[in-house]
Amino acid sequence: MKGFEESQSRLKLLEKAKELGYCCEEYLLSPIQFGVPNSRLRYYFLATLNHKESPGGAVARVLPVDCCVSLEDTEESRTNAQRQIRDYLEEYVDPTPHRIKAEHVTKRGRVMDILTADSRRSCCFTGGYSRYAEGTGSVLRLTPPSEEEIEPMQRAIELGRSYDYAGDWSILELRYFTPREILNLHCFPETYSFPSSCTVKQCYKLLGNSINAHVVEQLCRHILRHEGTLIDANFAATLHHLPATGNAPKRQKKES
């Protein structure tokens, strides 16, 4: 996670890796830099055993590929991605088991990061998602906007902000993102699923400890380009669960 780049452990890791002949690269990257509407700033350490000199300087904040945009740390949670949240939602979801209780919305709604399907950003999902209201991930608004809300809501979306709801909290319907939807935002392939024995809260906890698969894909591509490695057909197939542009997966259908 962010913060490791300032630790003594990181210095020891670099020292030992260089001592063993590894060329090291360090990055702080978030999926939103690759067009995915989710903030998940993480430290990535790349090491290749080629006995080349490691690039010096600070931890890089952008990967040198066309599909990655530069981003300041202060901008991460307020940056819009190319795609909307709706592209990562399941097509058919029974909102009942994921709906947030009305009394909880009334009491804690003001600290929640509330999105609509049109939003182009979302907060980092943590292992405490659904257990704590603040700072654990965004929630989805189900209540259609009133006529008076449409313009300010659209303006908030364009600015990459959560709409500042000023209505009656007791009638505002919200739900949590499903584990499958968070998997989609983490860019896991459609074929990936949790064991049936996992509860929803266990899934949220596992997702909170995860990293974005598309970011990892781009880092793998970067290493292979940098090393001039030929990619065989089988390995190339493992890198193609998402196009290099970071497009959203197909929306998941749920049986009724």
**Per residue of the chain (256 residues), what is the pLDDT tens digit?**
788 888 999 999 999 998 998 889 999 999 999 999 999 999 999 998 875 666 666 789 999 887 788 877 656 666 777 789 999 999 999 999 999 999 999 999 999 999 999 999 999 999 999 999 999 999 999 999 989 998 999 888 888 888 888 888 989 999 999 999 999 999 999 999 999 999 999 999 999 999 999 999 999 998 887 666 544 445 555 554 444 445 566 555 554 3
Q: What is the pLDDT of residue 211?
A: 93
Q: Is residue 121 part of a domain?
A: yes
Q: Is residue 151 part of a domain?
A: yes
Q: What is the pLDDT of residue 230?
A: 43
Q: Is residue 138 part of a domain?
A: yes
Q: What is the pLDDT of residue 203?
A: 97
How many domains does the chain divide into?
Answer: 1
Q: What is the pLDDT of residue 228?
A: 60
Q: What is the pLDDT of residue 243?
A: 43
Q: Is residue 100 part of a domain?
A: yes
Q: Is residue 46 part of a domain?
A: no
Between strands 139-141 and 174-176, the pairing is antiparallel
Enclosing domain of residue 170: 85-178
Q: What is the pLDDT of residue 233?
A: 46
Q: Is residue 9 part of a domain?
A: no
Q: What is the pLDDT of residue 229?
A: 52
Q: What is the pLDDT of residue 13?
A: 92
Q: Is residue 126 part of a domain?
A: yes
Q: What is the pLDDT of residue 97?
A: 93
Q: Is residue 21 part of a domain?
A: no
Q: What is the pLDDT of residue 75?
A: 66
pTM: 0.85
With CA atoms as reference, report the closest residue to 24 among 44, 1, 4. Answer: 44
CATH code of 128's domain: 3.90.120.10
